Structure 1
Amino acid sequence: MPTLLALDASSSACSCAVWRDGEVFSRFALTPREHTRRLMPMIDEVLTEAGLVPADLDALAYGRGPGSFTGLRIAAGVAQGLAFGLGRPLIGVSTLQALALAAHRQHHLRYVIPALDARMNEIYVAAYHCRDGQLTPLLDEAVMAPQRFSLPEACRDADWSGVGSGWTLWDSMPPLIQDALSQRLPDMQPAAAEMARLAAEAFAAGQGQPAHAVQPVYLRDRVAWQRG
């Protein structure tokens, strides 16, 4: 298995993690608007804890989105800079997939809808079936108004759980969604610890790319909204 460093700044949280021989060393903090200042010291701390120097890394990874436009650019810039400097491949990891994996690992949830508040009364959302640490996508990542969200047709009777800040828009969700959910965990944030696990699998499958080829995933091109 590779030794890799994962970074994330896609939400109000800032985090980094090292994957080494199946062990994860991580840092996580809720630091709204302080990602630029906090990320590099976190990297130094987690590498020191793992007993590594940057040259020991086989690859780097970062939360590619969806999420905060500014945060995604911060993490992408740091990760790409390190990958270029070290001559290592880079892996972009879905923030929604990382949320689903965290819900599965921490709370043993199987049918998970990760959703992030996309502002402008929209959510970033997907759906996964989680089993034995493996995630099967049931809905592609999308951005939409919460009123438009619907469950996968083949799994509407499953025991669904919602995780992530998008579920703070609960009152805007359709009644069918509200009835289908057994629980909500709106305080969960994407974290580099889960991204490191996902990135290690991706790297082992040959999915590492040159640093210049990896780009953030915004899902929405609009960065401002104006009333007509």
Structure 2
Amino acid sequence: MIDRILPTPEKFASCPDDERILPFYDGQFECVYILLHPFFKPTAIDIERFFPSAWPDKLEIINGCDAISWREIIGLSGVNSLCDIDIGLRTSIGGLKKELSNEQFSKKLAELDQQNIIHPQEGDIPPLLENRLLKTIKELGHDWLWVGDQFGTERKLLWIDDLVEKDEIPSHGCIFTHDHSLLVTTHWDSHCSFLCSSKEVIEEMLSLDPFEGFYCTPKTEVYWGAYEI
């Protein structure tokens, strides 16, 4: 019996596993910007809706919640840095080795529940970022985007305006342009997404919408909170 081994996914449509981010994309993308997934607070949705069987859909969250930045969370939670938030979130989902986890950071973030502040979800491009990204990519002159799964085995080409109105991106999925010049993808244990392109394109996107985040250095790891940013 022959083992069925998947081919290596193309870099323009894939995500690094547990390694340095820029070296993974070497030869494909010049630059990677870490997009921090916002915390959020319901304003027009009952807080009781936020459990798995009743979780609001994309447009409900966009229209019924306010985004809260990681910078704001530093002040609200008492942690000291973006790295502390990253480690606290990963600890809360069991996404770190014991020696890298920090239960104190996780507890401080858990206390935000008392203010009806909800943690960002790991592994998916969040609703409060998705349409902002789509509209900014359209501003760059793109009308279509490929939507792919995490394994690089399925993809479909969709009109950006349709993506804005619907919820078409699969869990752990990615979006990338037809010319392979831009990718947005999310690591399954991360509360952030990777915006991959040229420095010029990313700078233009940030001028259109100042997404909270930071640029990768050659040393930035997927599990960046535990290492050098």
Check whether TM > 0.5: no
Higher RCO (Cα < 8 Å, 6 or more apart) = 2
Structure ranking higher in strand proportion: 1
TM-score norm. by structure 1 comes to 0.31
